[in-house]
Structure 1
């Protein structure tokens, strides 16, 4: 299975990437998934050009392909003005223009980082509606990390719970459905034969 992580952190290192890595490690450990991380800051120029020329660049197109082909997705954004960052939103806007069903039915874990716990509602007021609109399946537990959360026990608990929910969705969707038993279907009888059986004898 393939797990793709989209991180919109701008600094190096960033708390956004740190949270993304923690969530990825916790999920991959339970779903036995291969992890790919997409850093949006490296794609900022190509994202901007997509809106002016209508076509994604080579690296951005590869990122879109990875997201569309993932079995599960972790998305993490810093909070700007009580919402997701413009770079984060622009990436998914450009993705939906290229393929409006790229996230349809895809399990997604939403997460965000910020300087204060007061912005934790960004998960339910901004991120969850965005990915519901994109037809993704958002796991019940979102993860928000404020500055004071790093090293705190609560963050580890939320991370583990959210990762478990995403892993369960990923493994459930990828599990092969059992083949139907041959004897579960009625024998196929040609229409002419059925019609002949209804006619009176003689």
Structure 2
């Protein structure tokens, strides 16, 4: 069974936070979807709250410290990324964007990414399409069609709201799993002698 690495980026500021809760649910759903497709997965969480000062220092000095380098390596070396941000002032949070700014602009090229966001009201739901998706499109990441937004009512709005959120999570996780499992294995150097005719064919003049 192939084992994939799934990096989860959570930009929530509270402990606990709805952002981390959504991130964990998306990760669990994606692991389940991958297993249904015959692949295993390991999950590595990057909690940006723990790296806030490291990110600020790196933006000022241009040199990330060891802890931030490890976080960056986790994200850029993963088979897929789940990126979840809270909504601040009708856009992604400053911490979320600052971490993205620390990444090399080519580091996520071709990487499958599931986008998600949390906010206090559903009025912010389009932030995923007008702010977050364009950001990852600039980085040339492969974002899955379904982005998951969760407002306060999704957590406390009764069974109907909870079921709708669960359905979005399941759909997005399935899309991410499909992209990950559909990716070809790493290209290996071609054998220069693959198409060389045999000596017998050369003697018969059939090559």
Is the TM-score greater than 0.5?
A: yes
1:140-151 equivalences under 5 Å are 140-150=145-155
CA distance in 2, matches of 1:147, 1:187: 67
Match of 2:46 in 1: 38
Counterpart of 1:33 in 2: which secondary structure?
A: strand
Higher strand proportion (structure 1 or 2): 2
Structure 1 residue 29: Cα displacement: 1.4
Structure 1 residues not aligned, in runs of 5+ = 189-202
Tell which structure's C-alpha radius of gyration is larger. Answer: 1
Match of 1:105 among 102, 106, 110: 110
Residue 165 of structure 2 aligns with which residue? 155
Give the aligned partner of residue 52 of structure 1: 60
- 1:191 matched residue in structure 2: none
Aligned to 1:10: 13
Q: Distance in 2 between matches of 1:156 and 1:174?
A: 30
Query: In 2, Cα distance between the equivalents of 1:187 and 1:6?
Result: 52
Conserved? CA contact 1:8–1:88, under 8 Å:
yes
Give per-residue Cα distances to partners, 1:71-124, cap 9 Å, x unaligned: 0000000000010000000000011xxx22110000000000000000000010
- In the alignment, structure 1 residue 67 sits paired with structure 2 residue 72: no
Structure 1 length-normalised TM? 0.85
Deviation at 1:171, TM superposition (A): 1.2
Matched residue, 1:22: 25
Regions of 4+ moved over 3 Å: 174-177, 184-188
The SS at the match of 1:34 is strand
Aligned equivalents of 1:87 and 1:63: distance in 2?
Answer: 14
Residues matched between the structures, number: 185
What TM-score, normalized to structure 2? 0.83
Are 1:71 and 1:174, in contact at CA under 8 Å, matched by a contact in 2? no
Post-superposition CA distance 1:163-194 (Å, at most 9, x none): 000011111115578xx9x9x95859xxxxxx
